[in-house]
């Protein structure tokens, strides 16, 4: 099985992450093994899952059956909110399900400010990195004030912050802080989770037509050109191929700016501050 030729981003711990992967949020466990197997056959080598998705075992089964050497596949999973006091046991359970002895990236999934245990969760994830159970330590859904607190408490900058990000929700202040501090940005919901009319906007379709690409490819290419890491979710093999065919065209400056101008401060999922 040949890997796609996907560029990598160098993280602040000097490791490399493929800039494109497959996300498996809301992928039914009964379908996950087939979907991840398809993605690996198409040439994806980066899978983003989470304990709460309930499909780590099926992700692991697909990886094991692929026969692809472990070091060639980048695997991310996440610490769920009710395990922030118990990260070591939580990661051990994830690793058992995945059938792996380490993940490449472990993320504190949400800060959950009402619970106020995210600093301790971050400290535990750093310990798990030291123990070799995750190569890289990162966070997800952390707003500026959450990043500032974990950095102040530990002096350690997360390698990534995985946040909702798409043309209608660009998080300028937060992404500027991350970029200035060497925190790579991972976009979840890069296609706005299919909840917006983004892919039917005439201006995006026109740009696509000019490059013989779909609207989804135009949006994903915009993320890639911003240096963002993406793992669009799809259950369909033909869309896995489509979503990975991003490296044979470029948006002009004007085209790129058309997508940037779609900023509307519009998020389609939970605001991390409200949890």
Ligand X SMILES: NC(=O)c1ccc[n+]([C@@H]2O[C@H](COP(=O)([O-])OP(=O)(O)OC[C@H]3O[C@@H](n4cnc5c(N)ncnc54)[C@H](OP(=O)(O)O)[C@@H]3O)[C@@H](O)[C@H]2O)c1
Give the DSSP H/E element, type plus range, for residue 209.
helix 202-211
53 labelled catalytic: yes
Q: Does residue 55 interact with ligand X by CB under 6 A?
A: no
Name which position in 11, 42, 44, 48 contacts ligand X (CB under 6 A). Answer: 48
Compare residues 27 and 133 and give the one whose CB is closer to ligand X. Answer: 27
Number of residues that bind ligand X (CB under 6 A): 27
Query: Does 121 sit near ligand X (CB under 6 A)?
Result: no
Question: Does residue number 158 form part of the binding site for ligand X (CB under 6 A)?
Answer: no
Residues 218-247, interacting with ligand X (CB under 6 A): 231-236, 239, 242-243
Q: Does 34 bind ligand X (CB under 6 A)?
A: no
Whether the CB-CB separation of 56 and 98 falls below 8 Å is answered with yes
Give the C-alpha separation, 103 to 1, whole Å.
22
**Residues with Cβ within 8 Å of residue 270, at least 6 apart in sequence:** 110
Using CB under 6 A, which residues numbered 128 to 157 contact ligand X? Answer: 140-141
Contact between 273 and ligand X by CB under 6 A: the answer reads no
User: Using the rule CB under 6 A, is 94 a contact of ligand X?
Assistant: no
Which range of residues in 10-18, 61-69, 114-122, 186-194 is near ligand X by CB under 6 A?
Answer: 186-194
Residue 132: Cβ-neighbour burial (10 angstroms; 0-12, 13-18, 19+): exposed
Distances in Å between the Cα of 177 and the Cα atoms of 9, 224, 257 are: 18, 19, 21
Which two structure tokens, joined as six digits, stand for 5? 């030729």
> Catalytic residue numbers?
53
């Amino acid at each position: 099985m040949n890997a796609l030729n996907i560029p990598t981003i160098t993280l602040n711990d000097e490791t490399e992450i493929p800039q494109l992967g497959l996300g498996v949020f809301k992928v039914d466990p009964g379908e996950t093994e087939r979907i991840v197997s398809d993605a690996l056959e198409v040439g994806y080598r980066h899978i983003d899952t989470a304990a709460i998705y309930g499909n780590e075992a099926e992700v692991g089964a697909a990886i094991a059956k692929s026969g692809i050497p472990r070091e060639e596949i980048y695997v991310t999973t996440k610490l769920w909110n009710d395990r922030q006091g118990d990260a070591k046991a939580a990661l051990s359970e994830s690793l058992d399900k995945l059938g792996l002895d380490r993940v490449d990236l472990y993320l504190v999934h949400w800060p959950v400010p009402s619970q106020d245990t995210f600093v301790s969760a971050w400290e535990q994830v750093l310990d798990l990195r030291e123990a070799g159970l995750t190569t890289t330590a990162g966070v997800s859904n952390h707003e500026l004030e959450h990043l500032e607190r974990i950095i102040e408490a530990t002096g350690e900058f997360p390698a990534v912050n995985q946040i909702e990000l798409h043309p209608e929700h660009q998080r300028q202040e937060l992404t500027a802080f991350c970029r200035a501090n060497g925190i790579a940005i991972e976009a979840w919901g890069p296609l706005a989770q299919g909840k917006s009319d983004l892919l039917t906007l005439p201006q995006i379709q026109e740009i696509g037509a000019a490059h013989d690409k779909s609207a989804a490819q135009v949006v994903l290419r915009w993320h890639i050109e911003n240096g963002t890491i993406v793992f669009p979710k799809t259950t369909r093999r033909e869309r896995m191929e489509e979503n990975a065919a991003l490296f044979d065209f470029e948006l002009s400056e004007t085209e790129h700016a058309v997508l940037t101008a779609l900023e509307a401060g519009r998020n389609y999922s939970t605001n991390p501050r409200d949890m």
